Amino acid sequence: MGTAPYVIYEPEEIDYYYCQKVYARKKGLPAFILETERFIVREEGLDDLDELYELYDTLADCEFIEPLYELEKEKEFVRNYINNMYRFFEYGMWLVYSKDTGRLVGRMGIENRSIDGENIQEIGYLTGKPYQNMGIAYEVCSAIKEYANEELGIDKLYSCIDKNNKPSISLIHKLGFKVYAQDIDGMNIYICEFN
């Protein structure tokens, strides 16, 4: 009912990362999300588009990846995404950077999707072609699963994968997802429930 952008219910929720996220929101900067042994995961910003196009160019021959829009439309999409996903839901697709090189190596995170008439959270991931088969998606998605449950209070994640995308199906099984439904318009749906 009020105009406060943030409300704290539990004072112990306030830590360095929470304060950093509030600051990033106020200044319009990409917020830090998490880190793993080898990677930093953070939100996307308009200044990241050149790197993102480079990453997607490495995947131009991958039939399972939706391409980015042309530049002006992608800028508008990112602006809306920041306001409607990151700010409202506190999650979305994030950028993955190598700690060693500082290079963008992937895009991974949590999206909303409708399954059986219910709004659910879906884990998503892509890794640039030069960085595939290095365990990046497994390392980062394992951390995203933990973040989803512990930080966001999500009790289950889904994954929708083209039934012919064998590397992605292998990864999702390794991440502990189980089959929820098969061959729905060419897609298999997987679920991971947290207890």
Q: Could you tell me what percent of the chain has a pLDDT over 90?
A: 78
Q: pTM of this prediction?
A: 0.90
Q: Has residue 1 got a pLDDT over 60?
A: no
pLDDT tens digits, residue range 99-142? 999 999 999 999 999 988 899 999 999 999 999 999 999 999 99
Residues 42 and 46: their CA atoms lie apart, in Å, by 13
| 57, 65 Cβ separation under 8 angstroms | no
Helix (H) or strand (E) run with residue 182 in it = strand 178-184
pLDDT tens digits, residue range 133-185? 999 999 999 999 999 999 999 999 999 999 999 999 999 999 999 999 999 89
pLDDT of residue 2: 61
Please give the average per-residue pLDDT across 14-38, as a whole number: 83
